[in-house]
Amino acid sequence: MTSWNDFFSRTDIKKEIKKIDDYLEDEREKYVDILEILPLKENIFKAFDLCSLEDTRVVLIGQDPYHNIVNNKAQAQGLCFSVPEDFPLPPSLKNIFKELCSDLGCEYPKKGDLSYWGKQGVLLLNRSLSVLQSKPNSHKKIWSYFSKEVMKFIVEQKDFCIFICWGLDAFKSLKDLELDKHVVLKATHPSPLGANKGGFFGCKHFSKVNDILINKKMKSIDWKL
């Protein structure tokens, strides 16, 4: 059975992670006592720890981690769009929850921790797995090869998967990949700038995912938090 270990043990990926680690250490030294690298080091690959390749049925593609420190704690926790349980909800997550409630008729979640989704087979994967505090997209370039290769690995190794792409950047992560055996759901980004232009609210991706999974004789996702 193929696993994430098959990806992370590849020679090119090991070299790439070594390069990323060296870069992040240089960043930490450069900005020591000034800026943090987010999320915490132990949470950078949390999405893969939470959701095995075998269990992955849905890939929710984010851009890069939240770049804020709230009450001296990292807002990012290694899962796209997710924040620790006791944190205030960022604007994008508020819009995601608005669409969730509208789509499923459920109660508005009281917490922003999306780990429950990850444990059910939703890979909560950002294209960049780290960011410099207060500097969005600051690590996009260093993660570009890793991001491209992990998406290619998922597409090639999985017999079927649903990719949720909110925003053009997420959709670009699938560029030039053979997606015939998979399903791609697209909408605008849930940030206020994207969502309020139209194209996110009313996309009904939560119910559409479950309709597709049920039609495939696969277990649906309990999206309620």
For 210, the token pair is 């479950």
Residue of 33, 64, 113, 159 with catalytic role = 64
- Tell me the one-letter amino acid at 55: D
Neighbours of 135 (CB within 10 A): 13
Q: Which two tokens stand for residue 152?
A: 């290619």
Catalytic status, residue 222: no
| Amino acid in position 5 | N
Give the catalytic positions in this structure: 64
